[in-house]
Amino acid sequence: MKLNLIAFPLLLLPVLLYAGLATFAGSPDVGQAAPIIRTLTQAWFELKMVSGDVWVFDLGDAILLFGFVMLFLELTKSTVTQTGSLINHGLSLAVFVVSLIAFLLLRNYGTSEFFLLLLMLLLDVVSGFVVTISAARRDIGIAAGMVD
């Protein structure tokens, strides 16, 4: 059970949420803005600031916030060096590649929100491999008695 939790790429959750919204948003007309933009910009709440400005928090912001929380958890998980973490890195790379293809080729995926999710996926993949390589280098150094 614990291996499954470590191996599961948590950033898949906001990507799937976005994909569900993109699927049901409809197909855009040629030359028109993607219908998902109307969905993503639906205000969840507004807050009047002391400055007099009104801060609007919408669905797109909520998806990004969810993505940031999942990214934090993924970065925390990447510090664990177990078999499940290697599986997690591979699955995270697969999610990134599929998401990149969706961003480039599919309608309703060419939005700033999805681009930022894509950057989170890239950061997860790169940081996961960097942490794993650093941990492996440290483990090799300790095993060989090369500790400074």
Q: How far apart are CA 103 and CA 7, in angstroms?
A: 24
Q: How far apart are CA 19 and CA 109, in angstroms?
A: 8
Q: Which helix (H) or strand (E) holds 45?
A: strand 43-48
Asked whether residue 47 is assigned to any structural domain, the reply reads yes
Question: Scanning the structure block, which residue is given the tokens 């090369």?
Answer: 146
With b meaning 16 or more CB within 10 Å and e meaning fewer, what string describes 115-129? Answer: eebbebbeebbebbe
Asked whether residue 143 is assigned to any structural domain, the reply reads no
Helices (H), the chain: 2-7, 12-24, 36-40, 59-77, 83-105, 112-143
CA dihedral angle for residue 59, residue 61, residue 66, residue 68, rounded to 10 degrees: 170
Per-residue pLDDT of the chain in tens (148 residues, 90 and over written 9) = 555 667 889 999 999 999 999 988 877 665 566 788 888 988 999 999 999 999 999 999 999 999 999 999 998 887 776 777 788 888 999 999 999 999 999 989 999 999 999 999 999 999 988 887 777 666 555 555 555 5
pTM: 0.82
Number of domains in the chain: 1
pLDDT tens across 19-31, in order?
Answer: 999 988 877 665 5
Asked whether residue 146 is assigned to any structural domain, the reply reads no
pLDDT tens across 113-135, in order?
Answer: 999 999 999 999 999 888 877 77
Asked whether residue 16 is assigned to any structural domain, the reply reads yes
Asked whether residue 148 is assigned to any structural domain, the reply reads no
The distance from CA 80 to its chain's CA centroid, rounded to whole angstroms, is 19
Partners of 58 in beta bridges? 43
Domain that holds residue 118: 2-26+34-138
